[in-house]
Amino acid sequence: MELRILRYFLAVASEENISRAARMLHITQPTLSRQLHDLETELGVQLFERGSRHITLTPQGLLFRRRAREIIELSDKARQELICGCDEIKGTVVIGAGELQSVRKLGLYIKEFRDLHPQVSFELITSTADQIRSQLDQGLLDLGLMVEPLPGQNYEMIRFLETESYAAVMPADHPLTRQMCIRPEDLAGVPLILPGREEVRKTIISWMQGYYEDSQTVLISNLAFNGIQMVTAGLGVFVGIPGVGLDLLSGELETRSLQPALSSFSDIVWKPDVPLSTAAEAFIRFLKEKGDL
């Protein structure tokens, strides 16, 4: 299977029309149709539902589109890294990050690094920790910014000295707003909105010291900001790391710190067995040399 054929497939999937895709690819429609037919024959599955004016992807086609995109992204990334494999540091560093306060600190490091290496650019992808882990494993990301505990041990890491603090976010008229901070016993029986990441939920449940019951969890959200938005709907109290969501709170919501305090370090992580570009390796060395990490 050639990369060229994958690009043909993605073009048709995007345009949903073979004629338009053929014009965009600068090939004839019969040639493109034959290439798609040969691809389906090679895979042994039907990728498209062909209508009179439009074609759509079958369930197998949707899955193949995702894999084809990953393959093309890896190919383009590898080509760029080879082109940039010279003495002068240049290229793109791709970083996945959650909605964390420490992203601001990361931005300061990126600015300082680019002052030294102006031909290096960065791509920041906001995602969940599980998605970051998956993309690191596939080589689609160079680095990830995640909070501890890390998902698994197969990563190299640099710890930020700044921590992400857990908090409780509730409606402004909630009875718990009368308190300066929230203790584990205060949340007994209270409907809860918790983070989607299992390791983080376990940290919260452990902090609650036996006052937690499974029936309290009314919603799990993989993004903190969306979980906080569910608080405005009256579903419950969000407990977790609000991150940048704290900056977006309206007058409808109140936040309270936890007592005893609960916090986690943020880490820059990467896969030691996945080859990195010169630019990514240079950025890691830069971070390791920073005195405030």
The CA-atom distances, in angstroms, between 62 and each of 19, 21, 27, 59, 224 are: 20, 18, 24, 5, 28
Mean pLDDT of the chain: 87
For residue 81, the model assigns a pLDDT of: 59
Q: What is the mean pLDDT of residues 217-231?
A: 92
Q: What radius of gyration, in Å, describes the C-alpha atoms of the chain?
A: 24
Q: Read off the pLDDT of residues 111-142 as tens digits, 9 standing for 90 and up.
A: 999 999 999 999 999 988 888 988 998 888 99
Every domain range in the chain assigned CATH 1.10.10.10:
3-81
Contact yes or no for 256/168 (Cβ under 8 A): yes
pLDDT at 268: 92
Give the closest residue to 6 by CA, choosing from 30, 38, 28, 29.
38
Q: What is the pLDDT of residue 20?
A: 86
Which token pair is 45? 């599955």
**pTM of the entire predicted model:** 0.67
Phi, psi angles (nearest 5°) of residue 289: -85, -10
Q: What are phi and psi of 247, to 5 degrees?
A: -75, -15
Query: Alpha-carbon distance 234 to 220, whole Å?
Result: 14
Q: Identify the CATH class of 89-163+266-289.
A: alpha beta
**29 Cβ neighbours under 8 A, 6+ residues apart:** 18, 19, 22
Return the pLDDT at 231. Answer: 93
Q: Round to whole Å and give the CA distance between 222 and 129.
A: 9
Residue type, 234: G
CA 3 from centroid of its chain's CA atoms: 26
**DSSP H helices in 90-215:** 102-116, 129-138, 198-207
Q: Which fold has domain 3-81?
A: Arc Repressor Mutant, subunit A (1.10.10)
Residues of the chain with CATH 3.40.190.10: 89-163+266-289, 167-261
CB 20 within 8 A of CB 12: no
User: By the 8 A CB rule, do 187 and 208 touch?
Assistant: yes
What whole-number distance in Å separates Cα of residue 125 and Cα of residue 183?
35
Report which residue type is found at 34.
R
Which CATH code fits 167-261?
3.40.190.10
Helix runs in 84-170, H state only: 102-116, 129-138
Question: What pLDDT was estimated at residue 76?
Answer: 73
| Two tokens, residue 5 | 């054929």
- What the block records as the tokens of 158 is 């640099």
Is residue 277 predicted with pLDDT exceeding 90? no
Q: How high is the pLDDT of residue 276?
A: 87
d(CA 146, CA 54): 42
What is the spatial distance between Cα 35 and Cα 9, in angstroms, rounded to a whole number? 9
> What pLDDT shows up at residue 261?
95
- Tell me which amino acid residue 149 is: P
